[in-house]
Amino acid sequence: MKILIIHTGNPCECFIASSILRGFKNKKHCQKYPEVYIITADKECASIFKHNSHVRKVYTLNSIPIEVFKEKFDEMIVLHPQVDTQFIDAMQSYEKMGFNCSEDSDYFFDILYGNKRTRMNMFQVYFKMAGIKWKGQGYDFDYAPKSRCKSNRTGLAVANANLRNFIIDKLSLDESKLWIIPYKKNIFKKIDEVNRCKRIVTDDFFTMNVASHLKKNIYFLKTLPYTTRIEIFGNGYIYSVPSNIIK
């Protein structure tokens, strides 16, 4: 069985979407793990899947070989709305699911990029778009951090200056030491920095997901009105921050 996944969103979205690779393990009518091909927007997003043992090939939009258009896939799953219908039509697949393919494409768009609230988390949304059931699977990302974790270190990654100052002033560390986590665009360097700490305090959604992948104790400071349920797999707490603190 051959499956093509197309996700042209940002690295955080691709990082969360990697979870559906775990969902293919028990896919119906599949004798063995399927051959998975992935297309992303750029090299940064491609790096999230490139070293994954479950993925056969990863391409970026500007480097798709002609052979891919000739390939006949069993399933094609489109996980981002910016993939236009001409591109979708150019791909050969027996079944096409997701954005601009399924009847519920607008429904998924309103949840992920609109204002429609749902009790589902992003993992459940991606799994539903892929036609499989989410059973608590987390991120499927193969990378061993180069840094070492110190149990007495609390990492702070807060983008909002007012909130950061408020947290530093109010934070009770007991025997723990505060570590200001530097911003890193590269996901591998981001993981290395987050892994230095046992506990993570952050208002950044991507950092929160990286910390969740690394099974850190998370204190997520919710400053935005998220439409999906935030999933941290029981590894911490979520706090809604009053608007007067972040202004």
- Say if residue 66 is in the same domain as residue 183: no
Domain carrying residue 219: 150-246
Chosen domain end from 129, 164, 186: 129
CB 191 within 8 A of CB 143: yes
Q: Decide which of 64, 98, 129 is a domain's last residue.
A: 129
Q: What is the CATH number of the domain that holds 80?
A: 3.40.50.2000
- Confirm whether 136 is domain-assigned: no
User: Per the structure, how many domains does the chain have?
Assistant: 2
Q: Which two tokens stand for residue 114?
A: 């609109």
Asked whether residue 55 is assigned to any structural domain, the reply reads: yes
| 139 assigned to some structural domain | no
Per-residue pLDDT of the chain (247 residues; tens, 9 = 90+): 899 999 999 999 999 999 999 998 766 656 678 899 999 999 999 999 998 888 999 999 999 999 999 999 999 999 999 998 999 999 999 999 999 999 999 999 999 999 999 999 999 999 999 999 999 999 999 999 999 999 999 999 998 888 888 887 777 666 578 889 999 999 999 999 999 999 999 999 999 999 999 999 999 999 999 999 999 999 999 999 888 887 7
Q: Are residues 116 and 72 in the same domain?
A: yes
Q: Check whether residue 170 and residue 116 sit in a common domain.
A: no
Instruction: Give yes or no: residues 163 and 59 share one domain.
Output: no
Buried b (16+ CB within 10 A) or exposed e, 30-41: eeeebbbbbbbb
Q: Are strands 35-40 and 2-7 parallel, antiparallel or unpaired?
A: parallel
Same domain for 96 and 202, yes or no, is no
Residue 49 confidence (pLDDT): 95
Q: Is residue 28 part of a domain?
A: yes
Domain CATH number, residue 189: 3.40.50.2300
pTM: 0.93
